């Protein structure tokens, strides 16, 4: 039977009740009113009785605790289901992040909700590290290690906010480790000059212009596709653009080959007309840029730089049902090419970073690929420390023992 008592040195009444294992215990009600404290004690006792009978479920326990907190603290205890919380968190990110990043967050959260299924109706405080680890392992088998790791990172960020909102007492996702890739991954690399010539020879006029922009500015495919004549200042010989991914405003001098190509394009009276009409229309139909990436891949195939893709499932799990293999060459490689050409030409790291739009030296280093001839030329500048040393001078001056 529940009862209450009060310590002489405390303003609060304490509830005395029996736990599900039969132990008698005391808990503070945080209430100074005797009647209110007794009602809380009865709720403790009722919840314990349900536990002894094996009928107490998480949602009932949550309601009991929330009711007690509301009575004692004069405010509602924050609560939310996993599904509702993640959806509200995504709404925040739609305002805080750029559209492409917000879409990636949405994809990651959807992976989690599909994996949890009916469990997503539980309170957010009951999401466990074991479940998040299971999600990570499931995605690793279906997608790639990068996708699985990104989903874990998104859950970490979401649960960090839940911790700040006092919805969880600990960030369970922070206890989950990321997948370490043991196999050598395919990495992007710069194009060689021979490869560039082969691609340009296979490209039509519009793609040739887009390739030149990517090569001489390092702009991403989405930014190149949506360029208009308003972005071009022929008088100052500059390209002015605000990048979609970072929101960075860049003013880029036009390299001579790119300037000649742009001057050869037919220009109308409308400054908002796209520089590359077909690509711009394709980008508007599909903001993700998938069709444009596929078109460029077909160019690589035509140039003999990539194998033709198949949509049929092959033996060994290859095809649409397999983890996507990253091709080492794509339009993004023009950022690697531009960075590397600048560095190989002796351009300082600060200037190269400003042109390409890299925020840090670490990011710029990832895009830098110094060729062998540049390294060889650099090493040839080192002094020959043996040039003035006679061969005999390297002999030992110690006398042999007699």
Nearest to 300 by CA among 187, 206, 189, 195: 195
Taking 90 as the threshold, does the pLDDT of residue 290 lie above it?
no
Rounded-to-integer distance, Cα 76 and Cα 70, Å: 5
CATH class of the 82-175 domain in this structure: mainly alpha
pLDDT tens for each residue of 226-257: 999 999 999 999 999 998 887 888 888 888 99
Taking 70 as the threshold, does the pLDDT of residue 58 lie above it?
no
Rounded-to-integer distance, Cα 281 and Cα 291, Å: 11
Q: What is the pLDDT of residue 80?
A: 79
Mean pLDDT of 57-80: 54
Under 8 Å CB-to-CB from 98, ≥6 apart: which residues?
244, 245, 246, 247
Mean pLDDT of 33-61: 70
Taking 70 as the threshold, does the pLDDT of residue 321 lie above it?
no
The CA-atom distances, in angstroms, between 57 and each of 11, 50, 163, 203, 259 are 32, 9, 23, 65, 70
Rounded-to-integer distance, Cα 210 and Cα 279, Å: 9
Residue 398 vs residue 180, higher pLDDT: 180
368, 372, 378, 381 alpha-carbon torsion, rounded to 10° = 180
Instruction: Read off the pLDDT band of 315 (50, 70, 90).
Output: very low
Helix, strand and coil in the chain, % to nearest 5: 55, 10, 40
Q: How many CA atoms lie within 13 A of 319 on its CB side?
A: 9
pLDDT tens for each residue of 76-89: 445 578 999 999 99
Q: Where are the domains of the chain?
A: 3-73, 82-175
Taking 60 as the threshold, does the pLDDT of residue 348 lie above it?
yes
Residue 83 vs residue 39, higher pLDDT: 83
Rounded-to-integer distance, Cα 292 and Cα 31, Å: 65
Residue 376 vs residue 241, higher pLDDT: 241
Taking 80 as the threshold, does the pLDDT of residue 71 lie above it?
no
Q: What is the pLDDT of residue 181?
A: 65
Alpha-carbon 333 to chain mean position: 19
The pTM of this model reads 0.57
Q: How many CB atoms lie within 10 A of CB 235?
A: 6
Instruction: Read off the pLDDT band of 391 (50, 70, 90).
Output: low
Return the minimum-mean-pLDDT range out of 12-16, 205-209, 369-373, 384-388: 384-388
Residue 47 vs residue 82, higher pLDDT: 82
DSSP secondary structure code for residue 81 in this structure: B
First to last CA, the chain: 106
DSSP string for 286-351: -TT-HHHHHHHHHHHHHTTSSPPP--S--TTS-STTSPPPPPS-STTHHHHHHHHHHHHTT--HHH
The CA-atom distances, in angstroms, between 206 and each of 202, 222, 226, 238, 276 are 12, 14, 13, 20, 6
Residue 299 vs residue 30, higher pLDDT: 299
Order of strands across the sheet that contains 13-18: 3-6, 13-18, 24-31
């Amino acid at each position: 039977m529940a009862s209450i008592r009060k310590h002489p040195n405390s303003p609060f009444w304490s509830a005395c009740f029996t736990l599900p294992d039969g132990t008698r215990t005391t808990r503070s009600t945080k209430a100074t009113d005797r009647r209110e404290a007794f009602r809380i004690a009865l709720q403790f006792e009722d919840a314990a009785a349900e536990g002894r009978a094996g009928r107490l479920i998480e949602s009932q326990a949550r309601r009991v605790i929330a009711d007690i907190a509301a009575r004692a603290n004069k405010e509602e205890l924050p609560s939310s289901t996993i599904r509702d919380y993640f959806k509200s968190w995504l709404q925040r990110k739609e305002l805080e992040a750029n559209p492409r990043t917000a879409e990636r967050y949405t994809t990651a959260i959807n992976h989690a909700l599909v994996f949890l299924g009916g469990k997503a109706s539980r309170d957010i405080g009951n999401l466990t590290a074991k479940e998040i680890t299971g999600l990570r392992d499931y995605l690793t088998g279906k997608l790639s290690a990068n996708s699985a790791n990104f989903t874990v990172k998104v859950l970490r960020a979401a649960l960090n906010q839940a911790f700040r909102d006092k919805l969880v007492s600990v960030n369970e996702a922070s206890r989950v480790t990321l997948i370490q890739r043991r196999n050598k991954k395919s990495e992007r690399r710069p194009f060689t000059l021979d490869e560039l010539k082969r691609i340009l020879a296979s490209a039509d006029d519009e793609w040739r212009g887009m390739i030149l922009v990517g090569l001489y500015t390092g702009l991403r495919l989405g930014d190149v596709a949506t360029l208009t004549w308003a972005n071009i200042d022929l008088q100052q010989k500059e390209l002015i653009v605000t990048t979609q991914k970072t929101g960075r405003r860049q003013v880029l001098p036009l390299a001579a080959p790119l300037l000649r190509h742009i001057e050869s394009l037919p220009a109308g009276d409308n400054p908002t007309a796209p520089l590359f009409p077909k690509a711009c229309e394709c980008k508007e139909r599909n903001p993700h840029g998938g069709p444009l990436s596929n078109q460029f891949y077909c160019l690589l195939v035509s140039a003999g730089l990539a194998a033709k893709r198949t949509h049929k499932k092959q033996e060994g799990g290859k095809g649409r049902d397999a983890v996507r293999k990253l091709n080492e060459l794509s339009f993004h490689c023009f950022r690697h090419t531009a960075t590397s050409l600048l560095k190989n030409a002796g351009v300082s790291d600060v200037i190269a970073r400003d042109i390409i739009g890299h925020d840090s030296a670490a990011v710029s280093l990832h895009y830098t690929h110094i060729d062998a001839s540049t390294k060889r030329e650099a090493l040839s500048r080192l002094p020959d420390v043996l040039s003035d040393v006679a061969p005999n001078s390297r002999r030992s001056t110690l006398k042999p023992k007699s």
